[in-house]
Protein backbone atom coordinates (compact mmCIF):
# COMPACT_ATOMS: atom_id res chain seq x y z
CA UNK A 1 0.00 0.00 0.00
CA UNK A 2 2.07 2.88 -1.31
CA UNK A 3 -0.37 5.53 -0.10
CA UNK A 4 0.12 4.78 3.61
CA UNK A 5 1.58 7.76 5.39
CA UNK A 6 4.22 7.21 8.05
CA UNK A 7 3.73 7.82 11.75
CA UNK A 8 6.27 10.31 13.06
CA UNK A 9 7.46 9.53 16.59
CA UNK A 10 9.47 12.33 18.19
CA UNK A 11 10.88 10.92 21.42
CA UNK A 12 14.29 11.02 23.10
CA UNK A 13 13.83 8.26 25.70
CA UNK A 14 15.15 4.94 24.27
CA UNK A 15 12.85 2.82 26.47
CA UNK A 16 9.76 4.79 25.43
CA UNK A 17 10.81 4.48 21.79
CA UNK A 18 11.19 0.72 22.15
CA UNK A 19 7.82 0.31 23.90
CA UNK A 20 6.03 2.57 21.42
CA UNK A 21 7.44 0.72 18.41
CA UNK A 22 6.50 -2.64 19.95
CA UNK A 23 2.95 -1.47 20.67
CA UNK A 24 2.48 -0.06 17.17
CA UNK A 25 3.86 -3.25 15.64
CA UNK A 26 1.49 -5.36 17.74
CA UNK A 27 -1.39 -3.21 16.44
CA UNK A 28 -0.46 -4.59 13.01
CA UNK A 29 -0.38 -1.13 11.48
CA UNK A 30 1.33 -1.22 8.10
CA UNK A 31 2.48 2.39 8.43
CA UNK A 32 6.21 3.00 8.59
CA UNK A 33 7.23 4.62 11.88
CA UNK A 34 9.86 7.35 11.54
CA UNK A 35 11.68 7.94 14.84
CA UNK A 36 13.35 11.27 15.52
CA UNK A 37 15.03 12.11 18.81
CA UNK A 38 14.81 15.89 19.10
CA UNK A 39 12.58 18.77 18.12
CA UNK A 40 15.00 20.37 15.66
CA UNK A 41 15.27 17.09 13.77
CA UNK A 42 11.45 16.81 13.69
CA UNK A 43 11.10 20.28 12.18
CA UNK A 44 13.79 19.54 9.58
CA UNK A 45 11.94 16.34 8.66
CA UNK A 46 8.56 18.05 8.34
CA UNK A 47 9.98 20.97 6.36
CA UNK A 48 12.27 18.78 4.22
CA UNK A 49 15.30 20.81 5.26
CA UNK A 50 18.74 20.09 6.72
CA UNK A 51 19.51 16.36 6.68
CA UNK A 52 16.04 15.73 5.20
CA UNK A 53 16.38 18.15 2.26
CA UNK A 54 16.27 15.21 -0.18
CA UNK A 55 13.15 13.70 1.42
CA UNK A 56 10.14 13.63 -0.84
CA UNK A 57 7.39 15.94 0.40
CA UNK A 58 4.30 14.81 2.19
CA UNK A 59 3.19 14.77 5.76
CA UNK A 60 2.89 11.89 8.21
CA UNK A 61 -0.47 10.43 9.25
CA UNK A 62 0.19 11.76 12.75
CA UNK A 63 3.01 13.15 14.88
CA UNK A 64 3.43 11.50 18.28
CA UNK A 65 5.33 14.24 20.08
CA UNK A 66 7.05 14.15 23.45
CA UNK A 67 6.87 17.36 25.45
CA UNK A 68 10.38 17.44 26.85
CA UNK A 69 12.86 17.16 23.99
CA UNK A 70 16.44 18.27 23.42
CA UNK A 71 17.24 21.26 21.18
CA UNK A 72 13.63 22.32 20.50
CA UNK A 73 10.98 21.26 23.03
CA UNK A 74 7.64 19.72 22.11
CA UNK A 75 5.65 22.91 22.66
CA UNK A 76 7.94 24.80 20.26
CA UNK A 77 7.59 22.03 17.67
CA UNK A 78 3.81 22.06 18.10
CA UNK A 79 3.72 25.85 17.72
CA UNK A 80 5.86 25.71 14.57
CA UNK A 81 3.59 23.04 13.04
CA UNK A 82 0.36 24.86 13.82
CA UNK A 83 1.73 28.20 12.57
CA UNK A 84 2.89 26.76 9.24
CA UNK A 85 0.09 26.88 6.62
CA UNK A 86 1.51 23.75 4.95
CA UNK A 87 1.56 21.75 8.21
CA UNK A 88 -1.22 23.18 10.36
CA UNK A 89 -3.75 20.42 9.50
CA UNK A 90 -1.26 17.72 10.50
CA UNK A 91 -2.59 15.83 13.55
CA UNK A 92 -0.29 16.13 16.55
CA UNK A 93 -0.68 14.00 19.66
CA UNK A 94 1.32 15.13 22.66
CA UNK A 95 2.56 11.89 24.20
CA UNK A 96 4.22 12.74 27.47
CA UNK A 97 4.71 11.76 31.08
CA UNK A 98 3.80 15.30 32.20
CA UNK A 99 0.57 15.71 34.11
CA UNK A 100 1.23 19.41 34.68
CA UNK A 101 -1.94 21.42 34.09
CA UNK A 102 0.06 24.21 32.41
CA UNK A 103 1.47 21.72 29.86
CA UNK A 104 -2.01 20.44 29.00
CA UNK A 105 -3.47 23.94 28.76
CA UNK A 106 -0.57 25.31 26.69
CA UNK A 107 -0.67 22.32 24.33
CA UNK A 108 -4.36 22.88 23.60
CA UNK A 109 -3.83 26.63 23.24
CA UNK A 110 -1.23 25.87 20.56
CA UNK A 111 -3.60 23.53 18.72
CA UNK A 112 -2.66 19.99 19.78
CA UNK A 113 -5.18 17.39 18.60
CA UNK A 114 -4.82 15.17 21.68
CA UNK A 115 -2.84 15.09 24.91
CA UNK A 116 -2.01 11.59 26.15
CA UNK A 117 -0.20 11.02 29.43
CA UNK A 118 2.10 8.01 29.19
CA UNK A 119 0.84 5.49 31.71
CA UNK A 120 3.46 4.18 34.13
CA UNK A 121 2.12 0.63 33.97
CA UNK A 122 3.62 -1.33 31.06
CA UNK A 123 0.32 -2.90 29.92
CA UNK A 124 -1.53 0.41 30.11
CA UNK A 125 1.24 2.15 28.13
CA UNK A 126 1.11 -0.57 25.48
CA UNK A 127 -2.70 -0.32 25.23
CA UNK A 128 -2.65 3.50 25.05
CA UNK A 129 -0.12 3.49 22.20
CA UNK A 130 -2.05 0.86 20.27
CA UNK A 131 -5.26 2.88 20.54
CA UNK A 132 -3.60 6.17 19.61
CA UNK A 133 -1.85 4.59 16.62
CA UNK A 134 -4.96 2.85 15.34
CA UNK A 135 -7.12 5.93 15.65
CA UNK A 136 -4.80 8.41 13.96
CA UNK A 137 -3.31 6.11 11.32
CA UNK A 138 -6.44 4.15 10.39
CA UNK A 139 -9.70 5.66 11.65
CA UNK A 140 -9.06 9.40 11.40
CA UNK A 141 -10.10 11.03 8.12
CA UNK A 142 -7.62 13.85 7.33
CA UNK A 143 -8.67 16.92 5.38
CA UNK A 144 -8.48 16.54 1.57
CA UNK A 145 -5.09 17.42 0.14
CA UNK A 146 -3.13 16.98 3.38
CA UNK A 147 0.23 15.57 2.46
CA UNK A 148 0.23 16.83 -1.10
CA UNK A 149 2.64 19.63 -0.26
CA UNK A 150 4.38 21.43 -3.03
CA UNK A 151 7.97 21.98 -2.00
pLDDT digits (tens, 9 = 90+) for 21-68: 988 888 877 889 999 999 999 999 999 999 999 998 788 989 999 999
150 band by pLDDT with thresholds 50, 70 and 90: very low
Residues 91-116: pLDDT tens digits? 999 988 888 999 999 999 999 998 98
Chain centroid offset of residue 8 CA: 5
123 band by pLDDT with thresholds 50, 70 and 90: confident
The beta strand positions in 2-78, using DSSP E, are 7-10, 33-36, 62-65
Q: Which long-range contacts (CB under 8 A, 24 or more apart) does 141-146 make?
A: 142/61, 142/89, 142/91, 143/89, 146/59, 146/89, 146/90
Superfamily of structural domain 7-139: Response regulator (3.40.50.2300)
Bridge partners of 117, per DSSP, are 96
Amino acid sequence: MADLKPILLVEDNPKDIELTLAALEKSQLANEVVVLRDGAEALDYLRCTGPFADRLGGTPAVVLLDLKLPKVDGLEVLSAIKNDPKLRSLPVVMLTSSREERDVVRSYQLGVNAFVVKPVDFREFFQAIQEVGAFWAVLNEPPPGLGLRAL
